[in-house]
Structure 1
Amino acid sequence: MSKLQANIEELYDEYYRDVYHFALYYTNNKQEAEDITQETFIKVMKNIHKLKDLEKQKTWILSIARNTAVDIHRKYKLRQLIPSMIGSNLVASENNTEKQLLLKEEWEILQEALLAIKPHYRSLIILKGLKEFTIKETAEILDCTELKVRVDYHRAIAQLKKRLAKEGGGVICKMTNG
């Protein structure tokens, strides 16, 4: 096995989950998330030689994932959402049916609100709010300034809160408090 191939496998093992979660939050569709993840790592393999700074590999990979998500999501734009797909992923206790239903309902409301805001704002909320990347990491992934991230993140949160109030009433989301 070549050194490059071993490096790509390490990158995949280390960042697969981050890329998949970003894609799932972005699209609210398991199939699209899997497609985005697969396409992202194909692009990583093809462009690994362009990665100059190994300390920035995470942000480099996630910026590829973001661009891939935007491209692929455009292709699926006309497809209807199926929010029921997340089911067991958010369930803390299988024995608590009421809690399952509440978590699923809150997740669906959050996903609808996320999908209703601009893609740039959606990316900011996913990266900074849900995945808890720093402002600097988020700026690198989105290829913009840290100031733009700060300003747009607050605007995105305001839009998300407005959507959640309209769609979800009492849904409280941890990330909207920051």
Structure 2
Amino acid sequence: MKNTLLLLSSANFGALDSSLQRAVYHEYYTMVYRVIMYMVQDHGATEDIIQETFLKVVKHIPVVENEGQLKAWIKAVVRNTTYSYLKKNKKKRNEMDLDIFSKNEGIEFSSDKEAIEVEIELKAMSEGIGTYLNDLKPENRILMEMRWKQDLSYKEIAAELGCTEQTVKYKLHRAREAIKKRFLKEWGGGR
């Protein structure tokens, strides 16, 4: 069945045949895995978030007119749940290197071909982001490290560098935009 996600809104999920339930979950998993993994950088946490969001979706599915509306609603649930996870685990996240993906070595994935492909793509993306960071002007790279590695506020960075908070915000914005532009150029905006 091509659009199995629509079964979430058209029927009681628990009443579906187990093979249909697996098909719906597999389509859901495939749709959200890459995004969550990219954000949290931890396979176990990604699996937990996928399960948690799937249960939320099944319990609170809205009435929708088409698959596009359903996917948009699911993405909002996934995004909000992932942000909540990141807020709860902020200290752990801040201890990660800026090239956060290098810690994924040694993680065992299921033999599922798609999961392996996703992991390879994430590793390639992480290497690209690491390169983009290294290619920044040294002053911008230092700002990024102070903000994200050291978790300094704009005010603390400004005091340490002897400039205004507005200058720090502006330069950080420019650095993020430069990285984003290169990322989208190489990886495409539709991913």
**TM-score between both structures, scaled by the size of structure 1:** 0.50
Output one character per residue of 1:93-121: Cα deviation in whole Å (capped at 9) or x when no partner.
xxxxxxx8xx48615628988x95xxxxx
Higher Rg: 2
- What's the counterpart of residue 160 of structure 1? 176
Select which of 109, 114, 125 maps to 2:130.
Answer: 109
Would you say 1:51 and 2:63 are equivalent positions? yes
SS at match of 2:91: coil
Gaps of 5+ in 2: 1-10, 106-115, 134-143, 149-172
Against the structure 1 CA distance between its residues 61 and 109, is the aligned structure 2 distance closer, same or farther, given a 3 Å change threshold?
same
Aligned residues: 121
Would you say 1:83 and 2:101 are equivalent positions? yes
Q: CA deviation at 1:171?
A: 8.3
> Could you list the runs of 4 or more consecutive aligned residues of structure 1 that deviate by over 3 angstroms after TM superposition?
7-11, 85-88, 110-113, 157-165, 170-173, 175-178
Higher RCO, 1 vs 2 (CA within 8 Å, ≥6 residues apart): 1
Q: Percent identity?
A: 26
SS at match of 2:48: helix
Select which of 61, 64, 67 maps to 2:80.
Answer: 67
**TM-score between both structures, scaled by the size of structure 2:** 0.47
Q: Give yes or no for contact 2:128–2:183 (8 Å, CA) kept in 1.
A: no
Output one character per residue of 1:41-93: Cα deviation in whole Å (capped at 9) or x when no partner.
01012112x233342222221111001111111111111335324447227xx
Would you say 1:37 and 2:46 are equivalent positions? no
